[in-house]
Every structure is written in structure tokens, then in C-alpha cells.
Structure 1
Amino acid sequence: MTFKLKSLPLAVAAVVASGALVGAPAFAQTAETAAPAQRVVVTGSLISRANTETPAPVQVLTAADIQKSGKTSVAELLTDLAANGAGTLGTGFAGAFANGASGISLRGLTVGATLVLIDGHRMAPYPLSDDAQRSFVDVSAIPFDAIESIEVLKSGASALYGSDAIAGVINIKLKKNLNGTRLAAEIGDTQHGGGKTKRMSISTGIGNLDEDGYNAFVTLEARKQGSIRVAEREQFGYANRDWRARGGNNINLGVPTTLNNFLTPTNTPFLYNPANPNNPAGVTNVNNPANYVFADPSKCNFALYRAGGCQVNDTESFIQPETENVNLMIGMTKKLSDNWELNLKGSIFQRESTNNRNAAPAAYNPLNFAGFTTLNNGVLTSRVGAIPSTLFAPGAQVGTNLVNPFAQPARLYGYIADIGPTLTTNNKATSTRFTADIVGEAMGWDVRGGVGATKVKNDLEYSGYTNRVNLYNALRNGSWNVLGNNSPALVSAVAPRFDNKLESTLNYADLVGSRELMQLGAGPLALAVGAHWHKREQNAPASSLTAIGAVANTSAFTIGDETNTAVFAELQATPIKNLELGISGRYDHYDTYGNSFTPAANFKWAPIQQFALRGTFARGFRAPNPAEVGNAGSFFTFNAINDPILCANGSRTTAGNVPTACGFAPPYVQTTNPDLQPEKSKSYTLGIIVEPMRGLNMSLDYYKIKINNLVVTQAGNDPSFVPTWVRGPAAPIDIATGVGTGTAVGTPSVGPILYGLSPYINAGSTETHGVEADVRYRWRLANDMGTVTANLSAAHTFGYVTAIGDTSYQLAGTQGPSSVGGATGNPKDRAQFTLGYNRGPLDVTATVNYTSGFSTIDPALGETDCATTAEHVGGRTYFSGLIQPANYCNVSSFTSTNLNIAYKITPNLTIRGAILNLFDKEAPYDVATYGNSGAGTSYNASLHQPGAVGRFFSLGLAYAF
């Protein structure tokens, strides 16, 4: 039986009736843990309060919660949030533009719609934007031991915080003071190989704020996480490239199939005669052994080649990249006269990671390639590497090893020795932050002010790329040995290692004052006013070799800046007993586009102590950033097409078609648009808070968010868009004869597609609505047998609709929108359940994370047939030319369980053990995602990464004195 809940009252009633009140919010303390009332400022408000049950839903993760999670990084911790959804950026997406970094996407509205604050202030975004577009703060760079708590505001908050706070706010609060010294160390490893992790930290602090008037501390943390390679998981289906037993193709490198017309690079280079000498029509005969000359017959010959015996194993692509973190934070808090307090912090968080684009090794025989583009005074200038003819004349020398023995021009196939097995980037990201915050009272006002200078710097080193012109010159003059052992100088010319430096800075100043103005009704009328200023610069140029088209590097570049000034205010009142009302508004000026005004309102009504009703309304906006309106450009691919001229009917065997132009994923050049306007949103929440008994706190909140004026790339988001295809010169290539799979060498009417232009536009809308339910239950067992806590949080999406013009698409429970965020998928349900037990020195915590299944169809691409989702949505060739089995039309649900046990051996010494993915659940197949590890893997790295890592064990010690 299927129910369709179309209204809020029905939705709330259904979830309440089902008993699905689950979660772990920030609620009032129970009587057992009650402390003297203390006024605090909770994320989502500027006015301090004693009751932390705010009108907006806020989830709090304390330092203790973080330690009990068993996780070893903040990125892993936040990825499991039930409110995190489609468009999240995980470390498993090794091919991402922002590789090495992690970002959170609340309500599935991308990382650009979630604002991440540190101590309530903005932080410089990562220099490499997500999808080369969206700005975000890299949460993987923030160390565990520096965090006091994390507050997750699940409501629009642009009226207080400005741009980007459309879906919500994550406020990471760092430690303010620390006494004594704490040493900690842990080590972990995976059951299936790779991924060994080591972490150690030391924190020490002196001074007591109340007694000494100051506190100073330092915390240092180092963490090293080993890589997990795809080859170390080949025993699992999602990492195995041979799909024949599953009704698909063998897409292992070096294996000739119909997908590559039985011509593909192998483990040793070979010359191939593209025309059968006995056939004057020049029909390619790939079945004639006489048409092949292998450079190393002992390693590969025709018989081995056709039998798949010259396969090239992918030993380099990552499921999990190698990372190394070193983090230092120094802080000092000083009490000043007249109840003023000064807090100073300085931090350097450094992460070094080795990522690869999960591409095949560089090979001979490319006909052309797209290098890069630059914007000169706003005019797009193409940088396309010119490739000399890849045909070697009869009798021509090919490197030092081969001479073309055929009477016709021959082609060279094979992977290129001496230059590395794949495209690799060593990425050192250094985040620095220096801040000063002051709080106090002046003329009846509570005043909070802060200034800060923040910067993220990336030092990138690239390898595995080829300078094609130098390569073919070396082949033709006989200086290049195709079997390897070339001189370092020659290798450097053919495969240059090059680097680049990127920076993102954000300097800010904030000032907020609040006070009670008067008594109004049953309580005070409180006012808060504030001002904000920030200057942001992003200087992420293309590398020198990329900019001139010498290498085919698809990394994005962005150069631009913005200045934002804003004023804002908030009013809170209690006009009648137990009814809290609030309004707020903010006026922003950006020098890039103009002005925005965003109001908001909220209420909370608690007619009895055990029940409250709350709700919010908020407008929001996201200002166009330098990657969208500045001097920027990038290449991207996201789906497969058929060349409208060279493969008009989509068939590789139709006479006159070019097989390589069928079902291929073309590059697009992303262009900026200085006339973009901000995205604008309206959001609503309406919920209940219930405390029916001692120790039990529950809430249920309905949310609805609609974003208009989306900034999107035109390709994939505008059904009427026909790209301007930039083509290379027409050159001899295999053309289908119409007889079986036969091809003949010929020159087509036009050259191949190099790339298409796709500008940013303001177009369409996204609307999502659902419910989020939370509960926390704590009870003390009889006879002093300990304390049990149960916490659950769950999110259900009723709808996720994108619209362009008059056409709308329902994407909840589908793979879409696959043009955003790496086809991460859009499951309707996510939940997290935590069960804890504590008695004396023993603390046991089990956490269960659940993600529902979803369809691999993406209606937004016009894809309605699950028989082709792997190729048309994910750009994967698992079933190209075949019928995709029905069992790959849907992604199965995924549940992982984590166990953490801590025991205090002495009051100072604690031992901890954890097992992540306790039951070793395997990642389910997702054939339509492309945001995953390795060109051939078929799992969803954003949602199911623990299932690819497998069971993980860790053991640690902590000593405090």
C-alpha cells in the first residue's frame, strides 16, 4: 500500500503515529544533569538565552560525542549526518576538481548552500571550488582535538549570517581554554588491506580564568592515513572491471573488445597496419596477425593480445587517498577590566594528500586533445594542443625500437613507459587562521567583536601528464625508447613534472551588540544589532604548462575577489506567557553584483512544560563567487553523447559513422558570466518538541526550501541548449563500413569534438521538502548498573524537484541531479542511531548509519530507461552495446555499524578500541555515479565509502595529567 503525504499536518501526523521521532538535538538538560542556568549564544541567534531549545532545529555534537564516534577525521564524522545529502564532497571522489577536500551538503542542496563557520566567523574557502564552481570550507583540515563542539543549524540563516546559509549552518567551535596536559595516540588498519592510520596529539594549557585571570594553551595533532587502492579491493564486484559474468563488458585496460574496435593500448607497444594489404578498399582487418608488430614479443604477441593476456592492471587508482595531517593551534583568553574578555587564537592546519584522476595511463595514438582555456579581458581563448599526425610512414623509424615494416602508414598503440602509471597530484593544503575576539559590556549593551585573517594555500605537484608534441618529435627522430629506460632529461621533456600554487584568503571584521530594551508582555524585548565586513580573494591560476596547452590537464582556474559589507538586526519578544517571537533582517552589499535584503521570522510556543510548537521562515541568498563571475575556466565531463554529425544515429556499426564518436563523454569548457545575479531562497520549518517523561527529549521538524535563480552550467540544465562544439581538424580515422563491426580508414567530413562551450546562467529552481526527527533518551539502570543512552536522528525527503522553464523533474529517490556534485545520488531516507552504555570506567557506544536505496535514473537528463543509465548518466561503459540488467537499475540501501569502547584504567589513563563497519558491509553497486574512485569502480563514494574501505580496527591510549 502506498500513501502520498501532500500536506504538512498529514506529514507530521504520520510520522508521529509511526513512532519515528528519532535524533540527537540540542535540548534542555534533564533534571539528572541540570546545571545552574547560564546564558549562551546558540548558532542561529545573536541574543544569548538560558533555554537552548531554539525556534530553529539545532543539532549539537560535543567533544565527547566526537571521541565516541570511533571516527578519525571530522570529514568522516559529518558525512554521516542524517541531514547530509546529495552533492556532498567526500575524500573518495579522487577525480573531483577540489580533490583532497571534503564538504557537507545539508538537505542535498550542494556544498555551496551550506555555510561553515569557525567560532561563529567565516573562514577562507578552499581554493579549488567544488565542480570548479561552488565555494566551500574544507572540513577535512580541522583536527579532532581542537574542537569543543559542532552546532548544526538546520534552517535558513542568511538573515543573520549572509550568503550561502540557504540550507543551514555548521558552526565548528574550537577550544577556548584548556588546563593540564593530555597525550593521546592511536593506530588503525583495515581488514582487507591498505588504509593503515596513525594519529597522535598533545594538548597542554596553563592558567585559570577565574583565579589567574587568563588561560593559555597549545594543541598539536598529527595524523597519517594510508591509501587504499582499487587493486586491493578487486575481489569485490564494485572494484572489478570485468563485467562479463554480470552481463556486461570487460573494461580492463589492454583488453581488446568491440568497445575499442579490438584496438587498444596494451602492456607493450605495437605497430598496427590500419589497412589490409589484400583489400584495396582499405578495410581494417583487426583479425589479421600480420597487421601487428609488437615491440616486445616475449611480453605480448597477437595471440596473447586477442585473448586478453596483455591486460594492464590498474595498481594506482585510489579508493582512499594517502593523507598526512599536521595541525597546530595556540589560544589565549585574558580577562580584562570591567567584565571584558579577550580571546586570541592562531592555527595552522596542514594536510598533504596524494590523489590521482583515476584515469588510464597515458597512451600513444591520440589524435588530438584539449588543453585548457584562459580568459583574456573576458574573451575566451582556446588553448588546444596541436598533435602531429599519429601515422608513421612506411619504413619510418618509431623511436629506437621499431621500424614500420608495412607498405602503408602504421599506428603506434601502447601505454607510454617511464612517465608514471596515472595522472597524479600531490596536494599540500595549508590553512592558517589568526583571530581576536572580545566580549564585554558597555552602556547596557552586551558587545561581541572579532577580527580575523584566514588563508588556505595549496601547493600542487603534477605528474603523469605528457607533452604530446615533444613525445611525437622524440618518436620520429628515434630518440625515444618505447620500452622504457629513457634518459631523465628526455623523460622530463616528454612527461614534465610541474607545479602550481593556489591561494584563497578571507579577512573579516564583525561587531554585534545586544540588550534588553524594555518589558513587553510576559518578557523582555531584546534587540541585537551588528555589522560585518569581509574581503575575499581567490588566486588559483592555471599552471604554466596547462595555460599554454602543452599538457592536457583539466584542472580549473579561478582569479577574482569580492568585498561584502552588511548590517543586520534581530528582535526577540515574549508578548504572552510561553510564546517566543523573533524577527531578523540583514542588508548585504557585494561589489560584484549589488545588494540583497534577507528577512526572517520565528516562533516557539510552549503551552505546557512537556510540549512546544516551533517554526521559522527565512529568505536566503547565495552571492555569485569569483569562479562564476571572475576570470575563471575549467573543463568537465558528466555524461555520454553521440556526436551529432559523426554518429548521428548512435550506432557504432552504421556505414559512415565514426565508432569512437558514439557514446563518448565530451569535455565542456565552463565559461563565466559577469551578469549573474544571486541565487535566492525561501525556507520554512515547522516542528514540535516533546518531553513526555524524565530523560526523554523528542522533536519533529518539517522543512521546505525553494531556491530560484540557480547559477548552473547550461549543459545538462537547459534541455533546449545545443552546445557550440569546437572541433579539431579532420584526419584519417576508422569509419564503420556497415558490414558487421568492420571499419575502414577514411577522412570524415568534420574533425572530432574537442570540447563544447557551456556558460553559467541563472536558470530554473530547486525545491525540496521533508521531515527530520530527533530523540534522545537517557536512563539510569537500577542497582547502580550504569547508564544507557539512546539517540537517533532521521531525515526523510518527500520531494526534490528541479525545474527549467515549464519542465520540472522529481529527483527524490533517483541518481539526479547528476550534473551537480558527481552524481552522488539522492536517497529519500538517512538515519543514525547511537546506543551507549556507561558504568564507572567503562564506556561503550554503537552507532548505526542507514542510507536508503534509490534509482539510477536521472530524469533531469531526460533519462527514463534504466537499461542505459550506466552509460547515459554515469558515462560508464559497463553495458555499452548491451542491455543493462534490471538489477542494476536501483542502488540498494546501505547500513554500517561502528563500535567504540573506552575504559579508564586509572583516573588519568584511558584505553580505547573501535571497529568501523563492524559487520564488514560491502558497498552496493551504483553504476550511474561518476563521483567515485577509479574509472571502473561502481560504488557511490559519497554515500557508501565505508563499504569500500571495509572493516576498520583501531586502538588508542590517552593520558591526562
Structure 2
Amino acid sequence: MMLKLKSMPFAIACAIASGALTCAAPAFAQAQQGGTEPAAQRVVVTGSLISRTNTETPTPVQVLTAADIQKSGKTSVAELLTDLAANGAGTLGTGFAGAFANGASGISLRGLTVGATLVLIDGHRMAPYPLSDDSQRSFVDVSSIPFDAIESIEILKSGASSLYGSDAIAGVINIKLKKNLNGTRLSAEVGDTQHGGGKTKRASISTGIGDLDNDGYNAFITAEYRKQNAIKVVDREQYGYANRDWRARGGNDLTLGVPTNINNFLTPASSPFLYNASNPNNPAGVTNVNNPANYQFLDPTNCNFTKYRAGGCSVRDELSNIQPETENVNLMIGMTKKLSEDWEVRFNGSMFQRESNNNRNAAPAAFSPTSFNGTTTLVNGVLTSRVGAIPNTTFAAGAPVGANITNQLGAAARLYGYIPDVGAALTTNNKTTATRFAADLVGSAYGWDVNAAIGGTRVKSDLDYSGYVNRTNLYNLLRNGTFNVLGNNAPGVVDAVSPRFSNEIESTLNYADLIGSRELLSNFGAGPLAFAAGVHWHERKQNAPPSSLTLNGAVANTAAFTIGDETNSAVFAELQATPIKNLEIGLSGRYDHYDTYGNSFTPSANFKWAPIQQFGLRGTFARGFRAPNPAEVGNAGSFFTFNAIRDPLLCANGSQTTAGNVPSACSFSPPYVQTTNPDLQPEKSKSFTAGIIVEPMRGLNMTLDYYKIQIKNLVVTQAGNDPSFTPTWVRGPANTIDIATGVGNNTVPGIPAVGPILYGLSPYINAGSTETHGIEADIRYRWRLANDLGTVSANLSAAHVFGYVTELGSDSYQLAGTQGPSSVGGATGNPKDRAQFTLGYNRGPLDVTATVNYTSGFSTFDPALGATDCASTAADVGGRTYFQGLVQPIGYCNVSSFTVTNLNLSYKVTDNLTIRGAILNLFDKEAPYDVATYGNAGAQTSYNASLHQPGAVGRFFSLGANYTF
């Protein structure tokens, strides 16, 4: 007996079910009780070019309907997709403040980074975000796509390069936008967090006219506005993960403005001060930093030596973000016109705009001697070190130190303090506008079903920078007595010290597709032989130059840039047959030509066998590839840090107290200069899936799939990914710096034998491999209660990683359940288990949905970095100084599991009006500690912003209403 799926009953079931985020087509359909079964609707499911009636395909596909999205209680697509059980290490979340592409969000299926997951819109490519993740991996920003524009989201959890080309290694996320709309729908929603910050407002309107069958056309427009306020670290400082004082936890006090041995007892405080490091009158045995005679506090009513050394001149961090402020304005228009009974044309245009304010640092801008060592940057394409360096950062005895203040210490002194009137350091206001124009011609002719498409897409970011310091101007204005270090400076003076500047970057991708499908034979074994073939072309350009002031080194910052393009032409085909009863097999293949490296051929095969109605087997094999992108082979450059090291010359034995060592060189995160490589070859993958489909009883559907993905020829930066690689460290000149005396923590100023490390070069290379394998389960049960008491539905989506192995040279590292791979993907953690359970109840106008998201714990070790000692994972992996000079407590060697529950309720008051309410993080679950992640390192928060962001946001309430007419 042939298996058939009645798609319309299932669509209705999905619409009224619990709002499960794992709603996928049931494995088998139930026969109707009498009557004539209606003709099954044929649809094209992501992962195939051929339409079908049975949407339970040989490849695992998860479907989120518009109803699922609304019932999630979420307020953005990024939040929704982050909770997918298949989403893993390398995820880029909105709370990931330290990312190169901060402000944007990307999904990493199977934990293989955002670069291995292809995101499509209506089955077509979209221009990637102009700032690549880690300045390397291209991805589509999902944070700007509005809810009301989406018809459904299909997540293909299998390699699909044989149909879609590059990047579809771990899977495909296909976001399907609305095609037509009748009537008008108004929606409004407000929400707020329990613990402060994060207030959210959202409103939308959608309206459409015309009936495609009766009028021959449909036209619609949908608009949405969303505003989300920032959550500052100060809003959560009552929680350990947002509190900088680690003394009660066995660590250091990292509170801004508190002098400790790890900052050599000299740190910018709430009051600026001069420090004379070379006072010859120090009593014997009294080090410079312990002698109050060496200090001159410039605002003594606010701070003095005693108060400063006791930590009383600390600075409260009121600037760093846990969640950035965002504002979205979205508009989409669409029209479908019937040309004949067999042909229609569809037009779609959209403008999705997101504005966010991102703070990549942890404090106000500061001045201290190390702030003025200069910047390593690319000036006119030439790598230049110490651009903008101030050779002498001292102020002579009696000389001005800004307005109305002079150095009264009797000798040259250094200035420490926060720069007033500037605000948060390294702040970027990012307005990103994604525009898309698409036209599709679909129809039938001469036995062929034809789909021809053209489109133009662009993502443009307007970046406004503030909180950056022009070092030369600052010191000139301090020395000539113009800049007031106590504040209230004239706007022109502030602009000279901290210029505000802008940059414009963009990414474009234009495409054309032509696909045709038909039955070659109506009877090939037990069914037809179906065939599809197509051609694809796209041209991609990335123009993300550095801003003028970062390019010439005028401000103390480095910035990533990418300028390049690629052209891709491809042909592809698919065969589908049922050679024997109940056995479906498929073959597909694609040939790609890239003008950047050459050619790739990627085949795939799949099958589904259902010997009985209640049981089926399925499996796939696919080859895939990821083409080197402009950031890897074009004109591009970036600077990055990812781990802590000791200077092999200035701190040879790693001890801060050994005589002659430079304590600040014993643990620091060196900068690397990332260089491109035009000879790179594509990454290549092989993937396998094998699964079962079971429907043991009416209403219960289960699938269990095993996957294995192998990626070779990885494009990686050489530092951290080649065990034999020792960077050639570029050093600056040897200047006066604090050197250990060998007596306790005492130091004296001196000039070491060599200067400090400025940077190391790290090119992209093809090296190593990654293999991951695991299982994913999807269980759905829906039953109607007796006596018309309503309908209950339960859905479970779960994923378990058996292994995640990275091979580098002759070394192999098992990273499942660890912090790795931290050299790619931002140390976002690699938990073995993720699950999502949804329980729903529906009766008449009432619909209640509870969703539980679970993430297992994992180790803070990253074996690929050689981090095997629990005493130092915070520093080794995340570059954190929580326990610098101390023994890291064993409790911070692991990240605890995290479970968060969301509750959503809606009630249909009338046929036109529906009200809804939601509580996210219902039980106010707190984010667990993760001392080794570095995505939010600037704010020194110790939680994982990619996996545990709901635990930092805390309990969130929302209330909304929909009205249709």
C-alpha cells in the first residue's frame, strides 16, 4: 500500500496544536472514515526540487508555521531560532557583544559555525551581513526578519550542496515569506523584564486585496515596528555573573577603579591622579605604588590615596550591555498575478531595517600609559605598527595636566583616569537595512513545471562610532592646559579628543534561477520517475572598507575590513523514483564554478522505505562544500585575540614575582593580524543520515535520525589551529615598565631587554578536519480529551552529540561537551545535549502553550588549546583574569545545565479579536557561570551569551492583541 499524506488536515492540526516549535509533517496519515478522499496537495519541501504529496521526506525537515511562531512567545526570529535543539556551538546571538559582527544574529546547525549553515529566503540566496563573523564566516542576519512577514520556516537538517551549492554543509534554513493576504490584521504587543531594562514594544499592520482564483490577482503590504530597550550590566549586578568582585568566589576584584596586584595597583579610578614612578626619595623597602607621596589626586575631595588603595574610588559600570538597544522598522509588499490557467507571476519587495547600539568595551574611555602604545593597522595597504603612539606619556614637574592643574610631585609623572565627557568606549550605532526585490514566474508547459526567478538583494550598514580617542590630540590638549580632566569641556574640545565618525559598508547578491521538473516515465517500477534540473547564477560583492580614522590610526582602535567579489554559475539535477513498492529513492548532483578558485561537484543520494504503514526507514548521503569567500581570499584584514599566553622573553617561567620578569607580560591576550590567502581551496564535506519513522498509534508520530558530518580542508587561521605554528611576534621598542623585584609583589620601573609584543601574523590556511555525529529525535502526540474538554498536544525535539572531533596535524581533540572549538565561533560552548519540549492545551477560544528549553552542561576546557588544567581555563580559553595569579576553584571548570520555561496564552474574544500574554523564563532561571567564554568579555560578564541569554534577561512579561477585519 502506498503511503499518502493528507497535507490540509495536517496543516490544520499544526495551526491548532500546542504551538510546538518542532511541528513537522507527521510520518503517516490516518485514513478517512468513509467518503471520497480529497486530492492531496503537492508541495515542494526544502531539500528537493520535485513537488510531492508526502511531506515526510527522506531528509529530516523541521517546520515552524506562522502559528508556531506566534505561540512561542518570542519577539524576534533570532530568539526563536536560537532555541532550536539542532543549534549549537558557533551561534552568534544578539548578546554576543564582542563579536566582529556585533548586533547581528546567525544560526549554527550541528555546532559547525554560522558559515556552514545556509539561510535562504523563499528558496533563494540573500546577501550576507557585511561584517563577517570573526571577520571570516559569511552569514545571513536573521535578527532583522519580522514575524508578520513569515509564512513558515523549514529547517533542513542534512547536507544539501547538491541542490543549493556552497555553505549548505550542516543544513539549510529556508524562511518562506507570505505570498498572499486578504483582509486586514492589526497587532500590538508590549513587554518588560522583571529586573529592569529590556522593555519591548511591537506593532504591525498587514492588509491585502484581491482573490487569486476569482480576481486573478492578490496584492498585499505588511509593516512592522519593534523597539527593544537595552539591558545594562548594572541592571543585573546583583547576580554573580554580572558582578566583577570575585574575592568571595576565590578570585580577584575586577571592579573598575580598584587597584590590585593584577593591575600593578595602578588603574584608572573615579578620580584622576598623577603617579610618579621614579621618586628617588622612597624609603628602603617601600615600593613606589605603596608610597602615598608618589600620588597626586586631582580631585582630592572625591578620592585620596587611602580611599583609593582601599577600593573606595571604584567606578560603577553603567555603560556595558547585556542586551543592546534595538529598533526595527520593516516593510514588505507582494503581488501575485495570474497570467493564464497555467502561469502566474509573483513580485516581492522588502525592506528590513534594524538599528542597534553596541558597546564592545566595559567602561568609559580611559587614559593610562598602555593606552597610548599606538595601533597596529593597515595604512594604505601596508601593515604598520604603533600608529599614533605617544613616545612620552609623562608630564614634567610643574607642567600643566589639563586645565587649571599642574604636576606638583616634583618629578615627571604619569596620568591615570577616565576621560570625562566622552562616554562609553568603543560604541557603535549600527543601522542596517536589508532590501530584497524578487520576481518569480511559475507555470506549466509541455509537461514541465517551470520556476524562473531573478532577484536583487543588498544589506547596507551605516555605522556611527563614538567613544574612540585621538591620542595625539588628547595629550596635546592636556599638555597645553586646554582639556579639563575633571569634565565640563566645551563640545569642540571633546570632539577633538573623541571624534565621532562614520562608515558605510554593504554586501550585495544578485541571482537568477531557472528550474524545470516533470515525470520522465509515468510507470517506473511501482511509481513514476520524476526529474528536475536547473541552472543558477549569482554575483556577490562585499564592500566593507575600514573607516577613515581607524585606517590612518588616528583613533586607538583596529577594525576589520573586507573588499571583494565572487561570481558563481551552476547546473544541477535531481531524480526521484519508486522502483519497488513503498521504496522511494532519490539522486541529485550539482556542478559549481566559482571565479575565485575553480570548480566543485557535489552529489547526493537518499531513500525512504516504509514496509508497513506504521514504520519506515530513511537515509541520506551527501557531499558538500564551502567556497572561500571575499574575507578569506579578497582584499581583507582583521585583528583578533582568542587566548591568553605568556611572553616567552619577558616572562620566561610564567611567574609574576620572579625577579626580572614583567608581570603584565605573564598573562595577556596578544593581538593577531589576520591575513588572506588567494590560493585557498574550498572546504569539503561528507554527511550521512539514517533514521526511522514510527507511528505506533493514532496521533503519535516519532522520528529518530542519526547524523554524521565530516569536513576536511578547513579554512582556518593558522594561530590556534596549527600545532606546529609559532607566530613571529612583532615587538615594539623597549620602554620603561614595571619589573618584578623578586620580593613579594614588589615592582620597580625599568627598561627590559626587549619591547612588548605588538602582534603576530596569522594567515588563513587549509588545514585539519572536523567530524561530528549524533542523534536527533522528534516525538509528537496529540489527543482529544473526552467530553469535549479540549485537545492536548505534546512535542519533543532533542539532539545529542556523540562526538565532535577536530584534527590538527597529527593531533586529535574530542570537543563534545567542552568549550571548544574556541578558536572559531567565539568560545560559545559545545554542549552534548539540547532539547525542547512543548505542551499545549486548546479548547475553543483558549490556547495555552508551555515550552521548556534544555541545554546540558559542559566543561570550560578547550583541549584544542591545550587547556587541561582546571586552575587556568578562564585565562587559557577566555582570556579572563578572574583567577590570575590564583588557583581557579574546581567549581568553575564546568558550566551547569540550563533549563528555561516559557508560557504563552491566547484567547479569541471574538471572531476578530484575540488577546495574548506570555511569560518568558517563567521561573526566572539565572544564567550559569561560564568563565571561559569571551563573547561578552568586554563587559566581564561570566555567562554564555549564546546559550544562556534568557538567564541574563530574566523573567519577561508581554501582553498583546490581534484584530482582523
TM-score bracket for this pair, using the shorter chain length: over 0.9
Percent identity reads: 81
**Residue correspondence of structure 1 range 915-930 to structure 2 within 5 A:** 915-930=919-934
1:721 alignment partner AA? F
Q: Which residue of 2 aligns with 1:597?
A: 601
Distance 1:348 1:281 in 2: 71
Give the deviation of 1:30 after TM superposition: 4.3
2:175 alignment partner AA? I
Write the deviation string for residues 248-291 of structure 1: whole angstroms up to 9, x where unpaired: 11000100011111111111111111124324999842111111
1:902 alignment partner AA? S
Write the deviation string for residues 73-92 of structure 1: whole angstroms up to 9, x where unpaired: 00000000000000000000
Q: Quick check: 2:28–2:695 contact (8 Å CA) kept in 1?
A: no
Q: 1:157 aligns with which of 160, 164, 180?
A: 160
**Residue correspondence of structure 1 range 601-616 to structure 2 within 5 A:** 601-616=605-620
**Residue correspondence of structure 1 range 396-545 to structure 2 within 5 A:** 396-518=399-521, 519-545=523-549
Distance 1:770 1:395 in 2: 70
Q: Which residue of 1 aligns with 2:663?
A: 659
Distance 2:808 2:389 in 1: 38
Distance 1:784 1:762 in 2: 63
2:325 alignment partner AA? E
**Residue correspondence of structure 1 range 545-584 to structure 2 within 5 A:** 545-584=549-588
**Residue correspondence of structure 1 range 315-394 to structure 2 within 5 A:** 315-367=318-370, 368-374=372-378, 380-382=383-385, 384-394=387-397
Distance 1:297 1:381 in 2: 41
Tell me if 1:699 matches 2:698: no
Q: 2:690 aligns with which of 686, 689, 692?
A: 686
Q: Which residue of 2 aligns with 1:13?
A: none
Distance 1:416 1:109 in 2: 42
Distance 1:664 1:790 in 2: 50
Q: Which residue of 2 aligns with 1:846?
A: 850
**Residue correspondence of structure 1 range 849-864 to structure 2 within 5 A:** 849-864=853-868
Q: Which residue of 2 aligns with 1:672?
A: 676
Which stretch shows the higher mean deviation, 359-368 or 540-549?
359-368
2:245 alignment partner AA? D
Q: Quick check: 1:388–1:469 contact (8 Å CA) kept in 2?
A: no
Question: 1:942–1:81: structure 2 CA closer, same or farther, 3 Å change rule?
Answer: same
Write the deviation string for residues 610-648 of structure 1: whole angstroms up to 9, x where unpaired: 111000000000000000011111111111111111111
Q: Which residue of 1 aligns with 2:773?
A: 769
2:219 alignment partner AA? A
Distance 1:709 1:445 in 2: 40
Distance 1:434 1:228 in 2: 35
1:476 alignment partner AA? R
Write the deviation string for residues 134-193 of structure 1: whole angstroms up to 9, x where unpaired: 000000010000000000000000000000000000000000000000000010000000
Give the deviation of 1:652 after TM superposition: 1.2
Tell me if 1:277 matches 2:265: no
Q: Quick check: 2:321–2:939 contact (8 Å CA) kept in 1?
A: no
Question: 1:900–1:191: structure 2 CA closer, same or farther, 3 Å change rule?
Answer: same
Partner of 2:151: helix, strand, or coil? strand
**Residue correspondence of structure 1 range 175-214 to structure 2 within 5 A:** 175-214=178-217
Q: Which residue of 2 aligns with 1:107?
A: 110
Tell me if 1:38 matches 2:41: yes
Q: 1:956 aligns with which of 943, 953, 960?
A: 960
Give the deviation of 1:830 after TM superposition: 0.1
Distance 1:475 1:934 in 2: 27
Q: Quick check: 2:158–2:687 contact (8 Å CA) kept in 1?
A: yes
Q: Which residue of 2 aligns with 1:241?
A: 244
Distance 1:288 1:847 in 2: 60
Q: Which residue of 1 aligns with 2:26?
A: 27
Distance 1:373 1:733 in 2: 24
Question: 1:492–1:427: structure 2 CA closer, same or farther, 3 Å change rule?
Answer: same
Partner of 2:745: helix, strand, or coil? coil
**Alignment TM-score, normalising by the size of structure 2:** 0.96
Distance 1:326 1:933 in 2: 30
1:919 alignment partner AA? F
Tell me if 1:889 matches 2:893: yes
**Residue correspondence of structure 1 range 297-308 to structure 2 within 5 A:** 297-308=300-311
Q: Quick check: 1:92–1:319 contact (8 Å CA) kept in 2?
A: yes
Q: Which residue of 1 aligns with 2:762?
A: 758
Distance 1:311 1:194 in 2: 23
- Count of aligned pairs: 940
Partner of 1:286: helix, strand, or coil? helix
Q: 1:83 aligns with which of 74, 82, 86?
A: 86
Give the deviation of 1:353 after TM superposition: 0.4
Partner of 1:141: helix, strand, or coil? coil
Question: 1:621–1:281: structure 2 CA closer, same or farther, 3 Å change rule?
Answer: farther
Partner of 2:872: helix, strand, or coil? helix
Unpaired runs of 5+ residues, structure 2, are 1-20
2:89 alignment partner AA? A
Write the deviation string for residues 339-389 of structure 1: whole angstroms up to 9, x where unpaired: 101110000000000010033322222344453533867x64557322231
Distance 2:909 2:27 in 1: 32
Distance 1:549 1:874 in 2: 27
2:297 alignment partner AA? F
Q: Quick check: 1:374–1:632 contact (8 Å CA) kept in 2?
A: no
Q: Quick check: 1:57–1:155 contact (8 Å CA) kept in 2?
A: yes
Give the deviation of 1:934 after TM superposition: 4.5
Partner of 1:403: helix, strand, or coil? coil
2:334 alignment partner AA? G
Write the deviation string for residues 391-432 of structure 1: whole angstroms up to 9, x where unpaired: 222222221243222343211111111111332110000000
Runs of 4+ in 1 over 6 A off after TM superposition: 32-35, 280-283
**Residue correspondence of structure 1 range 727-738 to structure 2 within 5 A:** 727-738=731-742
Partner of 1:501: helix, strand, or coil? strand
Q: Which residue of 1 aligns with 2:640?
A: 636
Q: Quick check: 1:295–1:401 contact (8 Å CA) kept in 2?
A: no
Q: Quick check: 1:915–1:952 contact (8 Å CA) kept in 2?
A: yes
Distance 1:411 1:823 in 2: 36
Give the deviation of 1:461 after TM superposition: 0.4
Give the deviation of 1:935 after TM superposition: 2.8
Write the deviation string for residues 884-911 of structure 1: whole angstroms up to 9, x where unpaired: 1111110000000000000000011000
Question: 1:342–1:28: structure 2 CA closer, same or farther, 3 Å change rule?
Answer: farther
Q: Which residue of 2 aligns with 1:311?
A: 314
Q: Quick check: 1:282–1:745 contact (8 Å CA) kept in 2?
A: no
Distance 2:929 2:122 in 1: 39
Write the deviation string for residues 540-566 of structure 1: whole angstroms up to 9, x where unpaired: 000000000111223311000000000
Question: 1:380–1:733: structure 2 CA closer, same or farther, 3 Å change rule?
Answer: closer
Q: Which residue of 1 aligns with 2:877?
A: 873
Partner of 2:87: helix, strand, or coil? coil
Tell me if 1:225 matches 2:228: yes
Distance 1:125 1:387 in 2: 39
Give the deviation of 1:851 after TM superposition: 0.2
**Residue correspondence of structure 1 range 252-267 to structure 2 within 5 A:** 252-267=255-270
**Alignment TM-score, normalising by the size of structure 1:** 0.96
Q: Which residue of 1 aligns with 2:4?
A: none
Partner of 2:584: helix, strand, or coil? strand
Distance 2:534 2:379 in 1: 39
Partner of 1:107: helix, strand, or coil? coil
Give the deviation of 1:926 after TM superposition: 0.4
**Residue correspondence of structure 1 range 902-921 to structure 2 within 5 A:** 902-921=906-925
Partner of 2:90: helix, strand, or coil? coil
Q: 1:944 aligns with which of 920, 944, 948?
A: 948
